[in-house]
Amino acid sequence: MSRRRWLGLAVLLIVLLCVPLVVHSDYLLNVADIAGIYAIAVLGLGILLGFAGQLSLAQAAFFGIGAYASGYMTVHWGWPVLPSMAVATVFSGLIGLGLGWPCLRLSGHYLALATIGFGIITQLVLINWTSVTNGSDGMTGIPPPMIGPFALATYGQYYYLVLASLVLCAYVAWRIKSTRPGRALQAIRENELAASTTGIDPTRYKIVAFVLAGAYAGLAGALLAHSIKFLSPDSYSFDQSVIFLVMLIVGGSGSIGGAILGAVLLTFLPEALRPLKTSYIMVYGAAVIAMIIFMPRGLAGLLSAALGRDDAAAARPLTNPAQPVEAKSA
Amino acid sequence: MTFDPVANLQLLVSGLAIGSIYALVALGFVLIYNAVGVVNFAQGDFVMFPSYVAISFLLPSITIFGTIVHWQLPLLLVYAVVLVLMIGFGLLFTRIAYYPLRDRGWMPVVISTIGVSIFLRNAAQLVWGSQPQVMPSPFPVQTIALGPLQVRPQDLLIIGVTALLIAFQYFLFERTTLGKQMRATAQDRDAARLIGIRVGRIVTITFVYSVLLGTISGLLVAPIFTITKEMGALIALKAFAASIVGGFGSIPGAIIGGLAIGVIETFGGFYISTAYVDAIAFVILIVVLVVRPQGLFGERVGEKA
């Protein structure tokens, strides 16, 4: 990255660090926390879809697994929060491994469908495995994280934990993208066969992408659990997976900044639309259609065009050269 | 548990009925997929939305946009009106959600159908409120005796109409020029265009036909389900599973897969667990994907490399 870009990021980070000092509304800070948490889950999906070209609709399931795992360890085992968040992250990554393994021979729509199945089953388990999850009544009494003797009790304090996690996740994603594994994933996205002839093992890299997507969503879920301190299976439905996907597409699927921007924008958009009362989600649905038609390269593409820069990855229009619209020979 | 042949036959009838619904919705998926290479995520809402439209005309009184109306038209007239309205809807859907994105691969179209789905569900809630609705049954009695069996007449109607539709579709695809053009377009769009088939028009017809399949499933299933904005979602996901189990892209596969999932799920709900009944279809799906990814009738798996 150029020096100017680093400088831009540093300024952005300082501005973000100042947010809780300027904004005192608990409501806005809570929405900001949730936006950051969603951004982490969407980044994970970005590694899987944007880098590796694998469409998953189970991101909310991993989000839920991370949330419930961390919630359970702190409530029932009395673990401290930060270690249990880390364990929940690893645990979700391992479940990602378990899902990625059998699904690897699938691609495109088939993969999407298998992940939908996994998402539905996970939600049913969350509802019905009452001895662990407390079913539809939800899990309560989840403690806030402690740093030394200090509890991160307010939304403003929690904001810093979310921000730190998001920066770390974005950095890891950026490292992956700009080094050999990321280029391997992008080669797989563009053409799996061609990638494998250059010595890339598509299976191994796709598993890695699955594990990372699961771990990111797990961390996001754990962060959510200790922020809202209440878990209900409804929050981890198929619809939530769809929302993550839409955030990524709207942001720009190959771009890290785009993923974050999409998550933040689409978390605040429904809040801004609330004056429309009951029709706001309907408007949201229409907005999604309009954005996909009129902003083919996502927000990231729009921004780089506005800045007169052609960032090849961000500006990649959302099409699948590797998987053309192909008629079936039935 | 002792084996009771009568109870099992009754389970089989209701399993085949719900399976017929899955089969019709699965057919809608497969036809659109074959025509344009895209899974339509709004297919379930093509079941839900017309059910709401139908009860608006059917119920003695219903609240629409917070106002109480009393239309209560005759049943067959309502079915006709709903079908005509949904043809218009299908044209609009193709024009808005598919046409502008047709040259950009499958993912943008998938996202746009997701947008349509969000829109329709919340439009339904806005117009008809969040209270679940019940469509009056077209039959005066709950169950009828069929020898020793007590079956719901609605189940028999569902099975009968589905059989007729499948026969109609067979006739359409095998015997008419339009059907042959639809098949040719599904097989190879460019070649179809080269021999003078107006592919754009055939694609529109396919979309409208799929919307109508969803509409008919909705009108059939609504009297035995409650109508909610979410009713289509689960039906559609199971129909998805059914079409994969049968072999995605295969029309007989969609029908047999739908019936199989309906029957297995009904028996599973009775003998294994009612809490996990909605998971059965997806367990079958994942097992089939792992063991025989091409499905029962499929020829190949995965999109072309």
User: Do the Cβ atoms of B279 and A120 come within 8 Å?
Assistant: yes
Number of A–B residue contacts, CB under 8 Å: 180
Nearest by CB: B122 against A102, A110, A281: A281
Is B293 within the bounds of a domain? no
Give the pLDDT band of residue B302 (cuts 50, 70, 90): very low
Please tell me whether residue B144 adopts helix, strand or coil conformation.
strand
Q: Could you give the CA distance from residue A190 to residue B215 in angstroms, rounded to a whole number?
A: 38
Look at residue B3 in the predicted model and tell me its pLDDT: 74
Is B95 within the bounds of a domain? yes
Q: What is the DSSP letter of B45?
A: H
Is A265 within the bounds of a domain? no
Number of Cβ atoms within 10 Å of the Cβ of B139: 14
Average pLDDT over residues A153-163: 88
Give the pLDDT band of residue A59 (cuts 50, 70, 90): very high
A279 in B contact zone (CB under 8 Å): yes
Is A248 within the bounds of a domain? no
User: Do the Cβ atoms of B116 and A289 come within 8 Å?
Assistant: yes
User: Do the Cβ atoms of B286 and A285 come within 8 Å?
Assistant: no
Is B198 within the bounds of a domain? yes
Q: Of the candidates A151, A149, A13, A139, which has an alpha carbon nearest to the alpha carbon of residue A76?
A: A139
Question: DSSP characters for A256-274?
Answer: HHHHHHHHHHHHHHHHHHG
* Lowest mean pLDDT, pick from A45-54, A277-286, B9-18, B90-99: A277-286
User: Given a cut of 80, is residue A98 above it in pLDDT?
Assistant: yes
**CA distances (Å), A239 to each of A60, A70, A123, B102, B151, in order?**
8, 22, 11, 25, 35
Residues with Cβ within 8 Å of A322's Cβ and at least 6 positions away in sequence, in order, are A53, A189, A190, A191, A192, B305
Look at residue A292 in the predicted model and tell me its pLDDT: 83
Q: Which amino acid is at B132?
A: P
Give the pLDDT band of residue A325 (cuts 50, 70, 90): very low
Look at residue A314 in the predicted model and tell me its pLDDT: 45
Stretch 102-161 of chain A: residues touching chain B, C-beta under 8 Å: 102-103, 105-110, 112-114, 116-118, 120-121, 124, 127-128
User: Given a cut of 60, is residue B303 above it in pLDDT?
Assistant: no
Nearest by CB: A318 against B108, B125, B233: B108
User: Do the Cβ atoms of A246 and B116 come within 8 Å?
Assistant: no
User: Given a cut of 70, is residue A310 above it in pLDDT?
Assistant: no
Is A273 within the bounds of a domain? no
Chain B residues touching A105 at Cβ < 8 A: 293, 301-302
Chain A residues touching B186 at Cβ < 8 A: 327-328, 330
Average pLDDT over residues A66-82: 91
Look at residue B299 in the predicted model and tell me its pLDDT: 60
Give the pLDDT band of residue A326 (cuts 50, 70, 90): very low
Is B166 within the bounds of a domain? yes
Looking at per-residue confidence, does A15 or B86 come out higher? B86
A265 in B contact zone (CB under 8 Å): no
Look at residue A308 in the predicted model and tell me its pLDDT: 66
pTM comes to 0.81
Is A116 within the bounds of a domain? yes
Looking at per-residue confidence, does A324 or A224 come out higher? A224
pLDDT digits (tens, 9 = 90+) for B159-206: 999 999 999 999 998 899 999 999 898 888 889 999 999 999 999 999
Nearest by CB: B301 against A110, A249, A322: A110
Give me the number of domains chain A comprises.
Answer: 1
Instruction: Give the distance from residue A7's alpha carbon to the nearest chain B alpha carbon, in angstroms.
Output: 34
B277 in A contact zone (CB under 8 Å): no
Look at residue A35 in the predicted model and tell me its pLDDT: 94
Number of Cβ atoms within 10 Å of the Cβ of A13: 12
Look at residue B259 in the predicted model and tell me its pLDDT: 96
Is A266 within the bounds of a domain? no
Nearest by CB: A128 against B38, B108, B275: B275
Total number of residues shown for chain B: 305
Chain A residues touching B36 at Cβ < 8 A: 325
Average pLDDT over residues A63-91: 92
Look at residue A60 in the predicted model and tell me its pLDDT: 93
For A45, the domain range is 19-234
Look at residue A85 in the predicted model and tell me its pLDDT: 93
Most B CBs within 10 A among A120, A191, A279, hence the mutation to make, goes to A120
Instruction: Give the distance from residue B106's alpha carbon to the nearest chain A alpha carbon, in angstroms.
Output: 6
User: Do the Cβ atoms of A106 and B302 come within 8 Å?
Assistant: yes
Q: Could you give the CA distance from residue B241 to residue B280 in angstroms, rounded to a whole number?
A: 10
Is B254 within the bounds of a domain? no
Q: Which range scores top for mean pLDDT: A95-99, A190-194, A252-256, A286-290?
A: A95-99
User: Do the Cβ atoms of A106 and B189 come within 8 Å?
Assistant: no
Is A26 within the bounds of a domain? yes
Q: Of the candidates A37, A34, A35, A55, which has an alpha carbon nearest to the alpha carbon of residue A46?
A: A55
pLDDT digits (tens, 9 = 90+) for B85-137: 999 999 999 999 999 988 887 778 888 898 899 899 989 988 998 889 888 88
* Lowest mean pLDDT, pick from A299-303, B1-5, B6-10: B1-5
Is A286 within the bounds of a domain? no
Q: Of the candidates B52, B213, B45, which has an alpha carbon nearest to the alpha carbon of residue B127?
A: B52
* Lowest mean pLDDT, pick from A129-138, A211-220, B190-199: A129-138
Look at residue B304 in the predicted model and tell me its pLDDT: 39
User: Do the Cβ atoms of B305 and A193 come within 8 Å?
Assistant: yes
Mean pLDDT score across all residues of chain B:
88
Q: Which range scores top for mean pLDDT: B61-65, B252-256, B269-273?
A: B252-256
Looking at per-residue confidence, does A168 or A201 come out higher? A168
Is A35 within the bounds of a domain? yes
For B178, the domain range is 22-228
User: Do the Cβ atoms of A330 and B115 come within 8 Å?
Assistant: no
Look at residue A36 in the predicted model and tell me its pLDDT: 94
User: Given a cut of 50, is residue B305 above it in pLDDT?
Assistant: no
Look at residue A278 in the predicted model and tell me its pLDDT: 67
Most A CBs within 10 A among B93, B303, B304, hence the mutation to make, goes to B303
Q: Which helix (H) or strand (E) holds B149?
A: strand B149-151
Give me the number of domains chain B comprises.
Answer: 1
Look at residue A321 in the predicted model and tell me its pLDDT: 43
Q: Of the candidates A213, A219, A210, which has an alpha carbon nearest to the alpha carbon of residue A65?
A: A219
Give the pLDDT band of residue B216 (cuts 50, 70, 90): very high
Instruction: Give the distance from residue A74's alpha carbon to the nearest chain B alpha carbon, in angstroms.
Output: 28
Look at residue B55 in the predicted model and tell me its pLDDT: 92
